[in-house]
Structure 1
Amino acid sequence: MNGVVAHAAGVNDYPTTARADYVFGCMKANGETQRSLDQCSCSVDVVASLLPYDRYVTAETVLSMAQVQGNLGGQFRSSEQATSAVSDLRRAQAEAEVRCF
């Protein structure tokens, strides 16, 4: 792998399906227009530039599991590691909001 490709792979570690899923969800929340497609595509790029993919997966898992009723969901809602991962995601999304919307 040459230096340019290696660098690009390090910066772009979000799989295409994860990026597409983010954009689809973002467009559902912001209207399904060409403008929202552009803004949401920008947003996922900003998030990906600020948050490593493994941290993104952790935050998304926490957000999903925190909705589960009972002890299992409670563990995700109260864990310091879980709270930290979600906070990192929220900060990245706030920066994306400023840059893209």
Structure 2
Amino acid sequence: MTRTVAPVALLALLAGFGTARAEEGYPTYARVDYVLGCMVSNGQGPDVVRKCSCSIDEIAAHFPYDSYVAMETARSMQDAPGERASLMRDVGWIKDLLNEFRQVQVAADLKCF
């Protein structure tokens, strides 16, 4: 069942359930990646595709794509094991950036879910 849901989700996004807005600068692959990750956390089906698409649209309305990439990079670096990752966990501006992202993501989820 999982193998058929991902292509269905991708087709739904490309068909217009979660159309990429060029003026926000988020490439389609970034939106699809977010939606697929969101579906892993929230379940599968067309309704979840719409909700997850709404969520990334809300995030895109608040953050330019470059900031989103910076946040994703910082988050993945913080999640990595080892001493280098611990250095990233202690940087104040990164904490602030990730806290702001989490707040926007929660607000988006409240609106969309």
Name the TM tier (shorter chain): 0.7 to 0.9
Distance 2:54 2:99 in 1: 20
Number of corresponding residues? 93
Structure 1 residue 29: Cα displacement? 0.5
Contact 2:24 2:64 in 1 (8 A): no
2:46 pairs with 7, 22, 34, which one? 34
Structure 1 residue 70: Cα displacement? 2.0
Compute the TM-score of the two structures, normalised by the length of structure 2: 0.76
Task: State the Cα RMSD in Å.
Answer: 1.3
Structure 1 residue 54: Cα displacement? 1.3
Q: 1:4-15 to 2 correspondence within 5 Å? A: 9=22, 11-15=23-27
User: Post-superposition, which runs of at least 4 consecutive aligned residues in structure 1 deviate over 6 A?
Assistant: none
Q: Which residue of 1 aligns with 2:72?
A: 60
Compute the TM-score of the two structures, normalised by the length of structure 1: 0.84
Q: Which residue of 1 aligns with 2:99?
A: 87
Gaps of 5+ in 1: 1-7
1:49 pairs with 50, 61, 71, which one? 61
2:36 pairs with 3, 24, 27, which one? 24
Q: Deviations over 1:30-59 (max 9, x none)?
A: 001111101000000000001111111111
- Higher relative contact order (CA closer than 8 Å, sequence separation 6+): 1
- Asked whether 1:76 is paired with 2:106, we answer no
